[in-house]
């Protein structure tokens, strides 16, 4: 067994965290041999609920979970953390766009950025889940100048997972047979899910997704709209935003960032732009990336191929 790492989850009494915490404690994200200490941050009025979450974590009886620290104090929550899941934010409700959340979230991510800067490890990996995630990641990094800006990422893995599932359903294959769907932009209705370089494994061989689907209208219009509006559709159906699927995506994102991507496979992450594809530098934008030794690299896709 390795030495325990400390992982913080904000908004820890909320719905996304409720699904995420089991993944972390069970070794599904950082590996089956990596013990963890969980720091759980929420606002003071949620401490009673958080007590119940702690009881459930204890009752899981999972050997990798070495310590649980519930707190409303960012100084305690971010102390020595190696990985941070910034889930807590002003929630999006039916009829709201992500821009409506911006003003409310500035103060939240300012405080958390300052706490990361002062208390966290300087190599901490920060995943912003709370929306608007790309803007919140930029705000957070601004207030944590001692931590490399590349260590702040925003989640678009939920959109990638949605897109892979939609393609798999269309082709009537298992979802793990579909690879390298790309999410460009932001986790919002302006994102662009791209299958141009996606592949599918059929009868033991790798095929092009656009060739196999063979329907430009579905790929360029129907599919794009499905993915762009999926979050709103979930809210309309359950009167709350995506939680179980968002938690799974957060775990997927951090696992691949921590452990690395498989050869030949890309994932979508909101990362600091280096100017690739003409995207202005120093904004957080979703690109296809590969990860090796804990470092991500933007994939340079050849659009002429």
Residues 107 and 192 in one domain: no
- Residue 210 falls within a domain, yes or no? yes
- Position 305 scores a pLDDT of 47
Active site residue 187: yes
The domain that holds 163 is classified in CATH as 3.90.110.10
Q: Which domain holds residue 177?
A: 156-298
The verdict on 163 and 144 lying in the same domain is no
Q: Which residues of the chain have pLDDT under 50?
A: 305
State whether 166 and 278 are in the same domain. yes
205 CB-near residues (< 8 Å, 6+ apart): none
pLDDT at residue 1, as a whole number: 67
Last residue of a domain, one of 154, 177, 208: 154
Q: Report the binding-site residues for NAD(+).
A: 42, 105, 129-131
- Residue 305 in domain: no
- Active-site residue, selected from the candidate residues 39, 187, 197, 253: 187
- Give a yes or no: residue 167 inside a domain: yes
Query: What CATH number corresponds to the domain at position 39?
Result: 3.40.50.720
Domain edge (last residue) among 91, 119, 154: 154
Whether residue 284 sits in one domain with residue 177: yes
Residue 304 included in any domain: no
How many domains does the chain fold into? Answer: 2
**Distances 126 to 90, 157, 195, 271 between C-alpha atoms, Å:** 18, 15, 28, 11
Do 131 and 41 lie in a common domain?
yes
166 with 133, same domain: the answer is no
pLDDT of residue 92: 63
Same domain, 121 and 208: no
Same domain for 67 and 133?
yes
Do 69 and 170 lie in one domain? The reply is no
User: Most distant CA pair in the chain: distance in Å?
Assistant: 56
Cα-Cα-Cα-Cα torsion 19, 21, 25, 30, nearest 10 degrees, comes to: 90
> What is the per-residue pLDDT for 103?
74
140 plus 162 within the same structural domain:
no
Share of residues in the chain with pLDDT > 90 (%): 84
Residues 147-180 have pLDDT tens digits of: 999 999 999 999 999 999 999 999 999 999 999 9
Is position 215 within any domain? yes
Task: Let me know if residue 303 belongs to a domain.
Answer: no
pTM of the model: 0.94
**Residue 171 near residue 213, CB atoms below 8 Å:** yes
The answer to whether the CB of 9 falls within 8 A of the CB of 85 is yes
Domain termination residue (choose one: 154, 180, 202): 154
**How much is the pLDDT for 107?**
85
């Amino acid at each position: 067994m390795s030495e325990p790492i400390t992982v913080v989850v904000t908004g820890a009494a909320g719905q996304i965290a409720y699904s995420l915490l089991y993944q972390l404690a069970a070794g599904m994200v950082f590996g089956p041999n990596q013990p963890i200490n969980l720091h759980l941050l929420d606002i003071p009025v949620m401490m009673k609920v958080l007590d119940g979450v702690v009881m459930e974590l204890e009752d899981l009886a999972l050997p990798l979970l070495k310590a649980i620290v519930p707190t409303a104090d960012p100084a305690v929550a971010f102390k020595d953390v190696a990985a941070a899941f910034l889930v807590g934010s002003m929630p999006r409700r039916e009829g709201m766009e992500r821009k409506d959340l911006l003003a409310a979230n500035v103060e939240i991510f300012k405080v958390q950025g300052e706490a990361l800067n002062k208390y966290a490890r300087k190599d901490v990996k920060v995943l912003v889940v709370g929306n608007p995630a790309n803007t919140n990641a930029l705000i957070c990094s601004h207030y944590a100048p001692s931590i490399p800006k590349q260590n702040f990422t925003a989640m678009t893995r939920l959109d990638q997972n949605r897109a892979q599932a939609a393609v798999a359903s269309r082709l009537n294959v298992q979802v793990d047979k579909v690879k390298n769907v790309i999410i460009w932009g932001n986790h919002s209705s302006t994102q662009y899910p791209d299958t141009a370089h996606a592949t599918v494994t059929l009868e033991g061989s790798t095929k092009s997704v656009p060739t196999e689907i063979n329907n430009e209208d579905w790929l360029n219009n129907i599919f794009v709209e499905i993915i762009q509006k999926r979050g709103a559709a979930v809210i309309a159906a359950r009167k709350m935003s995506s939680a179980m699927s968002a938690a799974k995506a957060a775990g997927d994102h951090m696992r691949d960032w921590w452990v690395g991507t498989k050869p030949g496979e890309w994932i979508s992450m909101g990362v600091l732009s280096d100017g690739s594809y003409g995207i202005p530098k120093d904004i957080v934008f979703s690109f296809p990336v590969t990860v090796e030794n804990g470092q991500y690299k933007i994939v340079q896709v050849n659009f002429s191929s």
